[in-house]
Structure 1
Amino acid sequence: MSTTKEHVPTGASAPRPDGTRKGRLAGGPLDRFFGVTAAGSTFPREARAGLVTFLTMSYILFVNPQILGAAIDVPNAQVQLLMTTAIAASVGCFLMGIVARYPFAQAPGMGLNAFFSFTVVLGMGVEWQTALGAVFISGVLFVILSVVGARRAIVMAIPQSLKLAIMAGIGTFLAFLGLRNAGIVVTDEATLVTLGDLSAPTAWVAVVGLVIIAVLLQLKVKGALLWGIGASSVIAVLAGAQVYEGGEDGALQAFPGFTDGVVAAPVWPSELVGQLDIAGAVGLGLFTVVFTFFFVDFFDTTGTLTGLAQKAGYLDERGDMPRAKTVFAMDGVATMFGSFMGTSTTGTYVESASGIQDGGRTGVTSTVTGLLFVVAMFLWPLAAAIPGAATAPALILVGAMMMDGIRHIEWDEISEGVPSFLAIITMPLTFSIANGVSLGVISYCVIQALTGGARKVHPVLYVVAALLAARYIFFV
């Protein structure tokens, strides 16, 4: 990054009069490479921001294995998936920190991991190896479009209302998934779903965790999700709640304890690495799957990176940021690498805003976050003390936070409101993110075309809608 004054982020702090902010590394090769001094920051501040970001998003180490473990059946699945999650997150952070040189952390994303497990693998019956191939292809498409500069054209094709609705729909899907995993919502023959037994161990542990996390979020405690998951896990252990898998005949049991301590050498996820089936994913039958992986990651990343860049003060008057192609390309490369390692789509985390808020302005922040994910691989036995009931509240509240954007949808405009509503409500009710995306896009194009708004729709969107409609007519 340029060291000229006009390129210093607007959100960066000014140098202190005594000059102590420079530190011993100021002016050295690392300083010049990352542009720490030019950004008005210091290495200690960047390191602290990296720690804050890690604490805020490290819940993914426990949540991602729970979600992917429902679809990926390999020996010692939870440990292998935790390792894969940590490796994908660390490499994603290094790519964003060292190559793109931004304080944006990456890890396997919430929402698409649920789509991977419950819609593609369990719902559509696609082999998990083939689903990983679809993730890889979406990453390749992402890199290509980033490099050739087609991002702006595709972004312009999707109306803002649908972008917001799809994110909100994924939020409702995650919340529903969390409520189901907690036993708070259960199946019912007469009404399809109903309230579960709140006195059951799984339910009350989840309710306690929900309250704890909500309170911490309201108090703006750094790492609220992580602390809430940890607190509810401790309560489950101390209370002897039967919320852990591994009991006789598949019944839940109380925490069995740490048999080999809490520190151990990392486990190589040999049953996951390189298992992706790219050839199997290439076909018209998986178009919607590949498209949804690509679509959600593309627009989620676009919105997330734009918001984070603005918060860090990197956007110019036109709304562009330096090295935009590199930033988006690194997100795609991280997805490709993650799928090779055996996890769903890797993307930029909005929780990076916590580190930026704490002063992070350069790639040093995300690099430190990546290093902490490496350290976490030596503490993997701790994952055994985290029951699904403790991670369910995180799903619910992450889902709630993803609803934020719907206030900007023009609900009074039917051509905007109806497609948005269909996209949101269809996802949890059909247990499919793909169905929500499809019905939202198709209904938007049809309503606009029949009400005199045909020219408002980008030609690219008509092509996408036609392909999605063809899938329902000929392949479902």
Structure 2
Amino acid sequence: MKEKNKTIARWKNRELRKEGMILEKFFKLSENNTNIHTEFLAGLITFMTMAYILAVNPEILSASGMPKGGVFIATVIAAAIGSAMMGFFSNYPFALAPGLGINAFFSYTVVNSMGYSWQFALWAVFIEGIIFLLLNAASIREKIFNSIPLSLKAAVAVGIGLLIAFIALQGGKIIVANNNTIVGLINFHDVDMHTSGIWALLTLLGIIITSAFVIKDIRGAILLGIFATWLLGIVTEFVGIYVPNPEAGFHSAIPQFGDYLDSLGHAFREFGITCGALFNPESWTHTRDGAIIGQGVSLIKSLDFIVVIFAFLFVDIFDTLGTLIGVSVKGGFLTEDGKLPNLSKALYADAIATTTGAICGTSTTTTYVESAAGVAYGGKTGLTAVSVALFFLLSLLFAPVFMAIPGFATAPALIMVAYFMMTSIAKIDWTNPRESIPAFICMIAMPLSYSISDGIMFGVISYTLINALTGKIKDVHWVMIVLTAIFLLKYALM
């Protein structure tokens, strides 16, 4: 019997080694100075920092009339397919999921304000993805990426870091809305200490704990910080210090299983409504109230629809490029002349993910800036992105666990990611004002406009105009000049 067990153990070890060799060969792990263990944990960290989209996306898109359960399944599938394609196609550790912000544009502007049905709005997302594919075929997005000077690329990384920090401090309830100064620091004397008060304190404590792990150079410091802060939250909830209030956005930190299987079954039934709805003419109408657009307003609505498509396209292009630039700078993926090898494959994966997501029933799927969390841990290959895809699929089985990860647990992790991305500021040539001033404008515009794409546009416009006014227009790439004209026209007509 013992001999039989030894034989089974040897067979299992041989199979594991064989699988490891396949992963090593496909993802070129040794060549990238990484291993399966590091890539897997990097994927877990990336997933945990972006798992909030599983709760937020259904909430936002349901405002358009879409069934919340169906959107949850669509979010999981779109994120899993997009991340897996990114990993297999480009061999980069970039994760994808339905974009936050553009989903709000889908619900609150396209559907609620402009009056389109959600099914019809999905057509806009689907067509945007097709246009993306055509732009990739013409290498237009790649030309845009390569035309941006190194100083602006570094500035994009820093700007994204500032934006991530701002988002994290908001999610941690430390920075709040303020009537006098737009935003301000939480006032613990004026808030409920059982909800937002303790939430902010746990965030601050989590930042200190995670910082200590990072300073001590503990392996998996960011992941350990998430778990340690989450555990503190569970303890405070058990003793009654933290009191969940779901209606106010303060959910329980303790996983709630309950009738999960029934809820999952209901979600899959609703997914049947969203999946492929855009290809069924009987299931969608032009307007949200169920009416077909009349001939008298069809031209105006058609023009509106074109505007909607290009709004999705425009935001997705520069959010994606900004994320790829920022994370690539931090991960050291760029060549000496600022180019990203296999960029076209990464962009194809992003475009295909958008069209696939629209078919499943969700708004634009895009590359996530939270990918920087996995890169900061050490993720360097597509195996990280594939691991993220697997975790999204697993979230169907363990959704109560993942959905219970509170914002105060992930906020400290994002603060650390922001800190790591800020180090790219050293790559800007501060002795050359022609380079550094546009870089500064780019990086500061991102958090203040709450938009990666607007930050890039501000940087491109200022770079071109400053160099033109100082007699250095010949040093500006022609693509940058074309982009400047397009951006100025966009702001003039918006």
Corresponding position of 2:204? 207
Letter in 2 for 1:52: L
Give runs of aligned pairs for residues 189-208 of structure 1, distance below 5 A. Answer: 189-198=179-188, 200-208=197-205
**Aligned-partner SS, 1:193:** strand
Corresponding position of 1:374? 393
CA contact (8 A) 1:172 1:428 kept: yes
Rounded to whole Å, the distance in 1 between the matches of 2:210 and 2:261 is 26
2:47 paired residue among 45, 58, 62? 58
Q: Does the C-alpha gap of structure 1 residues 263 and 145 become closer, same or farther in structure 2, counting only changes over 3 Å?
A: same
Q: Does the C-alpha gap of structure 1 residues 228 and 350 become closer, same or farther in structure 2, counting only changes over 3 Å?
A: same
Corresponding position of 1:345? 365
Corresponding position of 1:240? 240
**Aligned-partner SS, 1:104:** coil
Shift in Å, 1:452: 0.5
Shift in Å, 1:147: 3.9
Q: Deviations over 1:56-77 (max 9, x none)?
A: 2121453224554674335898
Q: Does the C-alpha gap of structure 1 residues 133 and 215 become closer, same or farther in structure 2, counting only changes over 3 Å?
A: farther
Q: Does the C-alpha gap of structure 1 residues 414 and 52 become closer, same or farther in structure 2, counting only changes over 3 Å?
A: same
Corresponding position of 1:216? 213
Corresponding position of 2:93? 104
Residue range with higher mean Cα deviation, 412-421 or 445-454: 412-421
Shift in Å, 1:81: 5.9
Corresponding position of 1:450? 469
CA contact (8 A) 2:83 2:386 kept: yes
Letter in 1 for 2:427: H
Shift in Å, 1:371: 2.9
Shift in Å, 1:448: 0.9
Letter in 2 for 1:207: L
Q: Does the C-alpha gap of structure 1 residues 407 and 251 become closer, same or farther in structure 2, counting only changes over 3 Å?
A: closer
Shift in Å, 1:450: 0.7
CA contact (8 A) 1:180 1:186 kept: yes
Corresponding position of 1:181? 171
Give runs of aligned pairs for residues 143-158 of structure 1, distance below 5 A. Answer: 143-150=133-140, 152-158=142-148
**Aligned-partner SS, 1:186:** strand
TM-score in terms of structure 1 length: 0.72
Q: Does the C-alpha gap of structure 1 residues 285 and 258 become closer, same or farther in structure 2, counting only changes over 3 Å?
A: closer
1:292 paired residue among 284, 291, 315? 315
Corresponding position of 1:170? 160
CA contact (8 A) 2:315 2:453 kept: yes
Q: Does the C-alpha gap of structure 1 residues 280 and 230 become closer, same or farther in structure 2, counting only changes over 3 Å?
A: farther
CA contact (8 A) 2:82 2:96 kept: yes
CA contact (8 A) 1:240 1:254 kept: no
Shift in Å, 1:136: 5.2
Q: Does the C-alpha gap of structure 1 residues 25 and 144 become closer, same or farther in structure 2, counting only changes over 3 Å?
A: farther
Give runs of aligned pairs for residues 456-471 of structure 1, distance below 5 A. Answer: 456-471=475-490
Shift in Å, 1:168: 2.4
- Aligned residues: percent identity? 24
Q: Does the C-alpha gap of structure 1 residues 184 and 300 become closer, same or farther in structure 2, counting only changes over 3 Å?
A: closer
Rounded to whole Å, the distance in 1 between the matches of 2:156 and 2:232 is 30
Structure 1 or 2: more helix by fraction: 2
Residue range with higher mean Cα deviation, 252-261 or 384-393: 252-261
CA contact (8 A) 1:242 1:253 kept: no
Corresponding position of 1:95? 85
Corresponding position of 1:12? none
Letter in 2 for 1:417: S
Shift in Å, 1:333: 1.8
Report how many residues are paired. Answer: 438
Corresponding position of 1:4? none
- Say whether 1:301 aligns with 2:287: no
Rounded to whole Å, the distance in 2 between the matches of 1:243 and 1:78 is 25
Q: Does the C-alpha gap of structure 1 residues 71 and 231 become closer, same or farther in structure 2, counting only changes over 3 Å?
A: same
Letter in 2 for 1:429: L
Q: Does the C-alpha gap of structure 1 residues 386 and 304 become closer, same or farther in structure 2, counting only changes over 3 Å?
A: closer
Q: Does the C-alpha gap of structure 1 residues 256 and 297 become closer, same or farther in structure 2, counting only changes over 3 Å?
A: closer
Rounded to whole Å, the distance in 2 between the matches of 1:228 and 1:217 is 13
Rounded to whole Å, the distance in 2 between the matches of 1:89 and 1:251 is 24
Rounded to whole Å, the distance in 1 between the matches of 2:228 and 2:68 is 20
Q: What value does the CA root-mean-square deviation take over the aligned residues?
A: 4.6
**Aligned-partner SS, 1:429:** helix
Q: Does the C-alpha gap of structure 1 residues 330 and 128 become closer, same or farther in structure 2, counting only changes over 3 Å?
A: farther
- Say whether 1:407 aligns with 2:397: no
CA contact (8 A) 1:59 1:229 kept: no
Q: Does the C-alpha gap of structure 1 residues 439 and 365 become closer, same or farther in structure 2, counting only changes over 3 Å?
A: closer
Residue range with higher mean Cα deviation, 232-241 or 348-357: 348-357
Shift in Å, 1:379: 0.6
